[in-house]
Structure 1
Amino acid sequence: MSDDDEGGPVYATRGLRDLLLERAADAEPSQVNVVLDATPVADFETDLELDPATPVLSHVYFPAAGRAVSDVFGVDLGTPAGNGRARFLSHPQGPAGLTRRDDLAGVVLLAVPPWEEVLAFDRRGRELSLTVVDAEPPVESLPE
């Protein structure tokens, strides 16, 4: 997701959407704030009938990774360099829109109770079209 993606439709996997809603419900009354990453359509085995370069939000980076270094030096080691240009936020007490207190990214997914829907916004708070796709990202493994 780059600044060039702003204003266009946003795509996310159903698995990611479901995970985010579950995490928001489990964390209530606390807020959730996690970094998201995308997989290009070309990397999916399922034909999504989209341009192969289209990013589909598919992964989440949990904030616990690299937390000690981040707390001391302000460097987030939990998110690989160059990734995380999208973010998920939950607002347990509302509103169903971005606020000045929110951490922003090129694309922000947001959920509010009753945790049934995810909304998408650009960094300026304009709502974007979100399409949930029924596809699993490729399985990743560490090199040996």
Structure 2
Amino acid sequence: MADQRERVLVVDVANVVGSRPDGWWRDRAGAAQRLLAGLRTLPGAGVAGPDGDPGALVLVEVVAVLEGAARSADPAAHPGLRVVRAQRDGDAAVVAEAGRVVDAGAVPLVVTADRGLRERLPAGSRTTGPGWLNALLGR
């Protein structure tokens, strides 16, 4: 892909899992585990960016934020995939991770449909909804 740009993917796991009516509410940790398994394939991948960030992107790191019952999901270790277990507020953890990425001089691409969360993200953050990630992962 020509003109690739680097992004750190920050995933609001609860929002992405909740975007599909596949019974996730019966087993939140299991649903998160399945999403994490897909996310393991993305670090280092070149992908087509979403509508809000078009063009070719390279996902140099993937950060998955877990909250509530999903925090017990236990993904296999994988280089480039970092799991953050929010102690209380998952949205605050997503904002903090996006801030960490911006402070490091990189560009976060935050996956969430939560408008309130999007408004709290630091300047320089890019956003997209769960549909883009679900399509990318074939979910």
Could you say which TM-score interval applies, normalised by the shorter chain? Answer: 0.3 to 0.5
* Higher Cα Rg, which structure: 1
TM-score by length of 1: 0.33
TM-score (norm 2): 0.34
